Amino acid sequence: MKKIISLILTLLVMLSFAGCTKEVEPKVETEKINVNVASLKGPTGMGMVRLLEDKPNFGENIEVNYSIESAPDLLKSKLLNKEIDIAALPTNLASIMYNKTEGSYQLGAVNTLGVLYVVTSRDDIKSINDLNDKEIGVSSKGSVPDFIFNYILNKNNIENININYIVEHGNLAKQLISGDRDLALLPQPFVTMVTMKNKNLKIAMDIQEEFRNIEGQDRHIPMGCIVIRKEFAQNHPQVVEQFLKEYENSIKWTSENVVEASKLIEKFEILPSAKMAELAIPKSNLVYIDSKDSKDMLDKFYELLMNFNPKSIGGKIPDESFYY
């Protein structure tokens, strides 16, 4: 009889513990998570079109809000106010944001390499040395394209060149289209735009190739990237990881499906027309290089910019914590 009572008591205790275990199971998260993703028009934003179109599911109660900004200054303002969780932007702006916000934004991946080209209607511009004794239009004195171009000129000992600075890419493009200028440095998609509108214009030089001729064939110019708000990544690491994977797939799809991607680029007003996008994509060097693999490339690029003007990267080269 005592054994039976003892067994019954043991079973009751076991059932009691089982009930307690069930009560302390983790509660399912029901709070809604808003993810604010922003990009700029142009090559920096082209790789995101598949995400904009498909709006992949990131999980229950997770809503992703996409926006395309036309001006870097507007995006910069939103980043400073920490209104954006993930953004596609120029690499120098990523460094500026990291330094100005005391590390609030980290680099997730590089998404765009060199997009600069020398465009001309002349027949005597075949190499970098042919720029001697020429006048060339360059937009925005003291900008990243200006620093890259002058770095290449210096390394090639091109001293007798007259650089005529124009305020904006658009104004310089208009001069080329009208025939008022016959030689200029421009980024994509302006290169595609001017060669579409003036059939006498052609690409004379790929600035990334000129850069590699100096630095080595394994070197690149990292122009665009993805940044992530650090606090958001700490609170929702699984969302960030999934986004980066989806974004990598979107870039790959864009590069491999140029015609279909071009239609989406026009649809989301990243470029004015699908035809322009179709011609620009192959020359926009869309890539996905994660933060770990892009660190060495970015460190050297930031050092180059730092030597021209520290303000161009926010005063200093980002430290290890910059890389997600």
Q: Long-range CB contacts (< 8 A, 24+ apart) of 54-61?
A: 56/246, 58/239, 58/242, 58/243, 59/238, 59/239, 59/242, 61/29, 61/30, 61/31, 61/32, 61/33
pLDDT at 274 over 80: yes
Number of Cα atoms under 13 Å in the Cβ half of residue 267: 11
pLDDT digits (tens, 9 = 90+) for 111-162: 999 999 999 999 999 999 999 999 999 998 999 999 999 999 999 999 899 9
Give the pLDDT confidence of 206-256 residue by residue, as tens digits.
Answer: 999 999 999 999 899 999 999 999 999 999 999 999 999 999 999 999 999
Those residues whose C-beta lies under 8 Å from the C-beta of residue 159, and which sit 6 or more positions away, are: 132
Euclidean distance between CA atoms 155 and 153, whole angstroms = 6
- Tell which residue, 182, 176, 180, 206, has the closest CA to residue 194: 176
Tell me the two tokens of residue 28.
């399912």
Tell whether pTM > 0.85: yes
Q: In terms of Cα–Cα distance, which of 16, 32, 46 is closest to 281? A: 46
Q: Which domains does the chain have, with CATH numbers?
A: 33-113+222-322 (3.40.190.10), 116-215 (3.40.190.10)
Length in residues, the chain: 324
Cα 172 from Cα 175, distance rounded (Å): 5
Question: Is residue 309 a contact partner of residue 147, using CB atoms and an 8 Å limit?
Answer: yes
Which pLDDT score, from 0 to 100, does residue 30 have? 65
Q: Is 20 helix (H, G, I), strand (E, B) or coil?
A: helix
Cβ distance 203 to 191 under 8 Å?
Answer: yes
| Rounded Cα gap, residues 267 and 271, in angstroms | 9
